[in-house]
Structure 1
Amino acid sequence: MPPLLVLLLAALSLCGKVTAEKKLQYVTVLFRHGDRSPVRGYPTDPYEESAWPQGFGQLSQEGMRQHVELGQFLRKRYNGFLNESYVRHEITVRSTDYDRTLMSAEANLAGLYPPSGRQVFSPNIKWQPIPVHTVPQSQERLLSFPLRDCPRYEMLMNETEHTEEFLNITSNSQDIIELVRNKTGLKKTSVESVWNVYDTLFCESRHNMTAPDWVTPAVWAKLHVLKDFAFQVLFGVYRQQEKNRLQGGILLGAIVKNITHAATTNERHHLKMMMLSAHDTTVAALQASLNVFNGQQPPYASCHMIELYSDDSGSLSVSMFYRNDSSVEPYALQLPGCSLDCPLEEFVKITKLSISEDRDKECQLPSIGSNREVIITLAVSGCLLLILIIILFVSIVRHKEPLSSRGYRQIINQGMPEES
């Protein structure tokens, strides 16, 4: 190979390394809790709440193991970025106020920050307490979706149920919906209640509990399809972007705000990671607001990572990854309309469409406001029209009155003898 060509290739290789050099600056990690017991049973369920060690809706030991493993993965991925031992300035952990999400966060932190050196407080305990913040579920507005405090969203959900896609799927699934009602003892079944029954059966199957005879492979496949469709209905199918602005856009807005702050901060002890422990619907809501949701229920301990990078030239970019299978590396998620390494300005611009600036206002029912405006407009118009009619009537009467009087006198005079 000619020396000049070798030199050129070496230069190109060097340039490639320089342009590819990126420095991680900030990370948001959102994950679903780990394996759990069913949230509820159904009337004919052979397994009552007492069949589960801690009752319904609780993290299992398998769920604990899943999150220790995820924490170890995060340690490996962000080692060198996060300090090896826990530093409170570097990470903030937020969870919904459920036992299973709080415990998942704690198990995850056990894998992320195994104590060493001065942080070992007992030689027999390979764990250290790290704070996990939460708010009462009644006050949760960041991590629990769908929020049912929005009349406009409820209207959109009602309209979704009248779309052609929803009607077709429910019509084609009447056999399975009827079967679930007949076999479970539920008085009323819908796409949502079928989802709940599927969840219960799924939890039981994962814990080696025998399924009822009516749950054949064909029935199971149909239940799985309806379950995934129920997720899509919550945040898509119909008027997806508006649903996003009223639901997952709340979380997306907070994440974007934190990213932009991290991009401009000069604080010595700045936050490096925001860890969020929540639910499958939370992950789906965020991904739908980013328009990267694959339409499938996020599995236990699935993890969505949003990473902010800077390079030597000062350029900032955002990359996203999704880990929904612990046996393989996370796969990259590409924000529609942008590159895999999305420039921060573009990321903010594109996501702005899914973020409401005034959610309370957008949650109002348009019909109520419109009807009020129509009523006021009609009332004012009616008053003006009445006034106009009165004016015209008075004008006509005044104009015709002298003619009427003369005509009346003429008729009288014709009927009476003239005065002598």
Structure 2
Amino acid sequence: MNSFCKTASEKQNCLAIQITKIVCFLIIFGLSVFIITQNMKPQIKKNQNFLSNVTNVESHNTDLETDQSEEFDLIQVITMTRHGTTTPGLLFPNDPNREEWERMGPPETLTHKGVREHCELGRYLARRYGQFVTGRVTHNKKTKIWSTDKDRSIAAAYSTLAGIANHRHQKIDCLSNEWIANFPPISDIISPGQNKGVNNSKQYQQKQGQHFSYPLIDSNATFMHRSAWINCKKLVHLNEKYVKPKRFEDFQKNSHFYQHLSRVVGYNITNYDEAKSTYESYLTEREVKGHFSGWVDKDSIEYLRKLYLHDYDLYFPAKLNEKLTAGPTLAIIVRKMQTILSQLHTLFEHSRSKHDENEDEGLMMLFGHTSSIMAVTKALGIRLIDLPDFAATFIFEIYSVNDSAKRLNEQSDNLCGQLWYKTSLDIEPIELETCKKVSGIQIRGSKCCPISKFISHLQKMSSHSYEKDCRLDGGNLK
């Protein structure tokens, strides 16, 4: 006890001071231990709950430029993206935003918000892959940019390319109102046939003020939109026999809800597609304005969301339907992967130091729609628990593990693949079913699947002879 604490009251005060000091010390010590132990633990991402078969993963640096390793080299990136926010496909009389949507352009026009979503996607891809992607876009190598023939998909592709270029050239501010106001006509940014060149016209660049050149967009990927699936006779037959009756039956079961919804929107809703347009109107307002005014009640919106997802379950009732919708897209992806692998083996055999630029197959980008994403998820056995976000993207990556030239020459599994799903909130790895029981190197905190297993999973649902597969009297499908 302190020598100054002589009287009883002084001793009591001193004791209280000593106890306070001890308590403070214990609190500080406890906090220090907690902070140290937390820093030693791996940080866990919050589960965004957009994939039902993907669990939380350890946080990891997804920027390749700062995640270099002597154990692996990135050799190919393939992206498949849904277009960003568009104006609604159907304008309802009671929608308070109807006039605003009409001013923006025809139904299903990519909005300014949608342009910015794809600009952000492009900037993300540039950060994630660095020169691997930016060089292939801004240096105009033989990079394949696929799109459906819908204007919203083509505009989405162009905006994404601008975002990639923005990473290297600050003059291309694709998030600015001025840049969006100078958005070029669709006819100026597409190639009428195969992707044979790039638009390097100085007059064009000065006119549009975009300050970058880019690979022309091939808008012949009509197979990625459900409007083209009507050309597949076998699929039409299956839809008439199984899908259409089931959708009609399901619509009838919910007739009371649709009667209520018709009164709310001021339009007589007679089928699933019209009902889904109501949900799309809600999404557009939420994304463009940052909130929803509530002209459709919350319970109806939630019910519509569930019905929208359920409709895709009805649309893909069997593997045959899945293969006849996603098959052509997966076939293009598989062929692209096989081409780059073939080039790698040729490279070794001839001891060349680098690829010919004309043979560069390192990057391919595909731009489609909700139906494009849903068809692939169904075909690959991926279960989404919500509809794809605007600008949601699948990313396929192929890596070479740098062990020895002999292993590469023997085509052993020192080559591996990863599949990622990116939304506006996060990016998560997807482990394909054929990859779950095999070991693989960890890249970016996730297992990289041996290439034979990875490609075989895509291959079994690919359609490499679509015209033959679509015939009613034949095809390679069971």
TM-score, normalised to structure 2, is 0.63
Query: Which residue of structure 2 aligns with residue 29 of structure 1?
Result: 79
Q: Does 1:332 align with 2:429?
A: yes
Q: What CA distance in whole angstroms lies between the structure 1 residues aligned with 2:463 and 2:330?
A: 10
Deviations 1:88-122 (A, max 9, x none): 225321222222222222221112123559x9987
8 Å CA contact retained: 1:195, 1:223: yes
Which of 286, 301, 311 aligns to 2:376? It is 286
Query: Which residue of structure 1 aligns with residue 154 of structure 2?
Result: 102
8 Å CA contact retained: 2:225, 2:372: yes
Matches within 5 A, 1:119-268: 127-135=211-219, 140-145=221-226, 147-158=229-240, 159-160=242-243, 170=251, 173-187=254-268, 189-208=270-289, 213=295, 215-234=296-315, 236=316, 238-239=317-318, 241-265=319-343, 266=347, 267-268=355-356
SS state of the match for residue 274, structure 2?
Answer: helix
8 Å CA contact retained: 1:231, 1:297: no
Deviations 1:242-287 (A, max 9, x none): 1121111110011001101111114422121101122121122222
The percentage of counterpart residues that share the same residue type is: 20
Q: What CA distance in whole angstroms lies between the structure 1 residues aligned with 2:372 and 2:223?
A: 9
Q: What CA distance in whole angstroms lies between the structure 1 residues aligned with 2:298 and 2:263?
A: 18
Q: What CA distance in whole angstroms lies between the structure 2 residues aligned with 1:95 and 1:140?
A: 5
Query: Given residue 460 of structure 2, which amino acid in structure 1 is its aligned partner?
Result: L
Query: Given residue 280 of structure 1, which amino acid in structure 2 is its aligned partner?
Result: T
Query: Which residue of structure 2 aligns with residue 386 of structure 1?
Result: none
> Residues 309 and 144 (structure 1 numbering): CA distance in 2 closer, same or farther, change over 3 Å?
same
Q: What CA distance in whole angstroms lies between the structure 1 residues aligned with 2:169 and 2:297?
A: 51
8 Å CA contact retained: 2:147, 2:221: no
Q: What CA distance in whole angstroms lies between the structure 2 residues aligned with 1:40 and 1:198?
A: 10
Q: What CA distance in whole angstroms lies between the structure 2 residues aligned with 1:50 and 1:195?
A: 17
- State the shift of 1:83 in Å: 4.8
Q: In angstroms, what is the RMSD of aligned CA positions?
A: 3.3
8 Å CA contact retained: 1:70, 1:111: yes
- State the shift of 1:132 in Å: 3.1
- State the shift of 1:200 in Å: 2.3
Which of 114, 122, 144 aligns to 1:63? It is 114
- State the shift of 1:187 in Å: 4.5
- State the shift of 1:167 in Å: 8.2
Q: What CA distance in whole angstroms lies between the structure 1 residues aligned with 2:472 and 2:269?
A: 28
> Residues 283 and 312 (structure 1 numbering): CA distance in 2 closer, same or farther, change over 3 Å?
same
8 Å CA contact retained: 2:115, 2:155: yes
SS state of the match for residue 416, structure 2?
Answer: strand
More deviation in 33-42 or 61-70? Answer: 33-42
Query: Given residue 56 of structure 1, which amino acid in structure 2 is its aligned partner?
Result: P
Query: Which residue of structure 2 aligns with residue 353 of structure 1?
Result: 460
Query: Which residue of structure 2 aligns with residue 77 of structure 1?
Result: 128
- State the shift of 1:201 in Å: 3.2
8 Å CA contact retained: 2:259, 2:269: no
Q: Does 1:40 align with 2:63?
A: no
Which of 299, 320, 331 aligns to 2:389? It is 299
SS state of the match for residue 79, structure 2?
Answer: strand
Gaps of 5+ in 2: 1-66, 171-199, 348-354, 409-413, 437-446
Q: What CA distance in whole angstroms lies between the structure 1 residues aligned with 2:124 and 2:92?
A: 37
> Residues 54 and 293 (structure 1 numbering): CA distance in 2 closer, same or farther, change over 3 Å?
same
SS state of the match for residue 417, structure 2?
Answer: strand
Q: What CA distance in whole angstroms lies between the structure 1 residues aligned with 2:69 and 2:169?
A: 37
> Residues 144 and 167 (structure 1 numbering): CA distance in 2 closer, same or farther, change over 3 Å?
closer
8 Å CA contact retained: 1:304, 1:323: yes
> Residues 360 and 167 (structure 1 numbering): CA distance in 2 closer, same or farther, change over 3 Å?
same
TM-score, normalised to structure 1, is 0.71
Which of 93, 110, 113 aligns to 2:165? It is 113
Q: What CA distance in whole angstroms lies between the structure 1 residues aligned with 2:109 and 2:396?
A: 28
Q: What CA distance in whole angstroms lies between the structure 1 residues aligned with 2:332 and 2:267?
A: 39
> Residues 194 and 150 (structure 1 numbering): CA distance in 2 closer, same or farther, change over 3 Å?
same
SS state of the match for residue 318, structure 1?
Answer: strand
Query: Which residue of structure 1 aligns with residue 411 of structure 2?
Result: none
> Residues 126 and 351 (structure 1 numbering): CA distance in 2 closer, same or farther, change over 3 Å?
closer
> Residues 201 and 83 (structure 1 numbering): CA distance in 2 closer, same or farther, change over 3 Å?
closer
Equivalenced residue count is 339
**Structure index of larger Rg:** 1
